[in-house]
């Protein structure tokens, strides 16, 4: 128990002392939805210790104040730190799966502004690693306007050289499940936003192995990609504006007000993905 409190104190001190050079990005609309792959700590996945990276993420949340965050690869280390050190108003939608694992594909929301009406986490029928290859969704209600919306966080499989054909079939199956879920949720007659690591890139320029552009084509034919349907597009210097990405925010709406690609070099050590988010009206 003493070890636990000492570790907790050290984490708090570490986070408090770090002053990251992140900009304050003023909210331009009623609703801000972020999607970010946090990168697990597992070495086999290329992960690194979470504690120093978590301070960057917490600073990002503090500077941008998202209303809902779609997270992927939130392993137990991430869960423990975030559940203790996120601002008190934030809640994790689907917490522990068991005493030894968490649902890595998850949602975090601002409980001061929104009421959680319902939520569910569904494992894809095909694909390994059920903790992360899944769809987690929730309906939220704005406490002041009583308007509702649904957010889905997801993480599709990816393509490996030796199992390319098999992996592509798995991705197609998962994509069909996702689009079916969106279709079923339309009965609630409210906007639906889908953020996640889709492991599928836009077909821009020369396609490379593993881009899974046909998966992206299928998704964008059924849903609206906010990146290309926004009034204003913002991006950092970490990558060019037209660089294809694996992370996307799709929706059932025709457009959003602002799309932000938070591609800042200061975040290079946080994860192997840059966060993205949208500002839109309900």
pLDDT (tens place) for every residue of the chain, 282 residues total: 444 444 454 445 444 434 566 778 888 899 999 999 999 876 655 667 898 899 999 999 999 999 999 999 998 889 999 999 999 999 999 876 655 677 899 999 999 999 999 999 999 999 888 888 999 999 999 999 999 999 999 999 999 888 989 999 999 999 999 999 999 999 999 999 999 999 999 988 777 878 999 999 999 999 999 999 999 999 999 988 889 999 999 999 999 999 999 999 999 999 999 999 999 999
Residue pair 136/93 in contact by the 8 Å Cβ criterion = yes
Nearest 5°: the CA angle 59, 60, 61 is 90
What is the bridge-based pairing of β-strands 134-142 and 148-155? antiparallel
Total residues found in the chain within this entry? 282
Nearest to 136 by CA among 100, 202, 92: 92
What ranges do the domains of the chain cover? 1-280
The helix (run of H) or strand (run of E) holding residue 14 is helix 2-17
165 membership: H or E segment, kind and range: helix 164-185
Distance CA 149, CA 189 (A): 9
Task: Provide the 8-state DSSP code for 111.
Answer: T
Domain at 1-280, CATH class: alpha beta
Q: How many CA atoms lie within 13 A of 225 on its CB side?
A: 18
């Amino acid at each position: 128990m003493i070890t636990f409190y000492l570790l907790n104190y050290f984490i708090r001190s570490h986070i408090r002392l770090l002053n990251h050079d992140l900009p304050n990005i003023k909210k331009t609309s009623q609703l801000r939805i972020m999607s970010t792959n946090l990168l697990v700590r597992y070495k086999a996945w290329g992960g690194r210790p979470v504690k120093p990276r978590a301070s960057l993420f917490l600073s990002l949340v503090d500077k941008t104040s998202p209303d809902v965050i779609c997270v992927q690869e939130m392993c137990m280390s991430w869960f423990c730190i975030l559940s203790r050190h996120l601002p008190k108003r934030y809640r994790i939608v689907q917490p522990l799966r068991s005493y030894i694992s968490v649902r890595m594909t998850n949602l975090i929301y601002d409980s001061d502004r929104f009421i959680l009406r319902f939520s569910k986490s569904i494992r894809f029928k095909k694909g390994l690693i059920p903790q992360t290859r899944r769809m987690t969704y929730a309906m939220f209600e704005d406490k002041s306007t009583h308007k509702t919306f649904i957010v889905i966080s997801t993480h599709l499989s990816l393509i490996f050289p030796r199992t390319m054909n098999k992996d592509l079939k798995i991705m197609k199956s998962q994509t069909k499940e996702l689009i079916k879920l969106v279709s079923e949720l339309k009965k609630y007659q409210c906007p639906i936003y889908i953020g996640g690591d889709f492991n599928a890139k836009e077909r821009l320029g020369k396609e490379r192995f593993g881009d899974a552009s046909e998966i992206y084509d299928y998704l964008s034919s059924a849903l609206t990609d906010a990146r290309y349907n926004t009034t204003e597009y913002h991006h950092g210097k970490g990558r060019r504006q037209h660089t294809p990405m694996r992370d996307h925010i799709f929706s059932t709406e025709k457009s959003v007000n602002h799309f932000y690609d938070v591609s800042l070099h200061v975040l290079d050590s946080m994860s192997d993905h840059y966060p993205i988010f949208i500002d839109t009206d309900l």
